[in-house]
Amino acid sequence: MTPARGRLVALEGVDGSGKSTQAKILAESLGALLTFEPGATGLGRALRRLLLDPTSDAALDVRAEVLLMCADRAQHVARVVAPALGAGRLVVTDRFSGSTLAYQGYGRGLVVAELRQLTAWASAGVEADLTVVIDVPPKVARRRLERAAADRLERLDEHFFSRVRDGYLALAAEDPDHWTVVDGDDDVEAVAAAVRVTVERHLGVAPQGGLQERCR
Ligand code: TMP
């Protein structure tokens, strides 16, 4: 008998896109396990502090940054995501491999093909069945972030976030079977409805946690 295999949906977007709010709403509406990166495990919490501490900018090399993100992902997949998928659960994660490709690849300028290999290794081959990009123009994201205290990565300039955003859009365009883009420049409920529609369409996921067979 084939072991049960749940589904993994990743919510992605630039800081200030509203994707954490959307991940929460989606997980609740589908009865899914909600998780996030970086920081969902004991090790991850320590790594998140190192990665996002506003005072560590000068010290952290970009390759060190990506390896710490991948260490967080390895632990997250091993301890949280893979066991849940193995139990047949639907999992919604607030960020996954797409963040590494968009931020460290398109944003920081590391080679995307190398990052793909690195993150595939870190996650032991676990991939998102669907990645939903919550897309907002950089100015909208910036306005939303100004209301909150900025962490180390959020202090990067607007050009950086433009590259990250363009990266997400390029990644989505390359792989439309596994990536989708939702316009996040609308009120929370309207964006949530659009996210639900696209998840249901791509995965054949029924409300309240039911997993239907995917239509091919
Ligand atoms: P969060 O604020 O959505 O929790 O994300 C934390 C920050 O970490 C955010 O600025 C994006 C960044 N990040 C990366 O740069 N690469 C990654 O692989 C991940 C998971 C997050």
Q: Mind listing the pLDDT tens digit for each residue in 107-146?
A: 999 999 999 999 999 999 999 999 999 999 988 888 888 7
- Determine, yes or no, domain membership for 3: no
Which domain range does residue 103 map to? 8-214
- Determine, yes or no, domain membership for 2: no
Hey, which of 19, 24, 37 would you mutate to test ligand 1's pocket, going by the most ligand atoms within 8 Å of its Cβ? 37
- Determine, yes or no, domain membership for 92: yes
Q: What is the CATH number of the domain that holds 36?
A: 3.40.50.300
- Determine, yes or no, domain membership for 1: no
- Determine, yes or no, domain membership for 110: yes
Round the average pLDDT of the chain to a whole number and report it.
90
Closest to 160 (Cα-Cα) out of 115, 108, 113 = 108
Whole-model pTM? 0.92
User: Total domain count for the chain?
Assistant: 1
- Determine, yes or no, domain membership for 32: yes
Distance from the alpha carbon of residue 42 to the mean position of ligand 1, in angstroms: 17
d(CA 38, CA 96) in angstroms, rounded, equals 9
Checking if the pLDDT of 98 tops 80, the result is yes
Hey, which of 11, 96, 153 would you mutate to test ligand 1's pocket, going by the most ligand atoms within 8 Å of its Cβ? 153
- Determine, yes or no, domain membership for 24: yes
- Determine, yes or no, domain membership for 160: yes
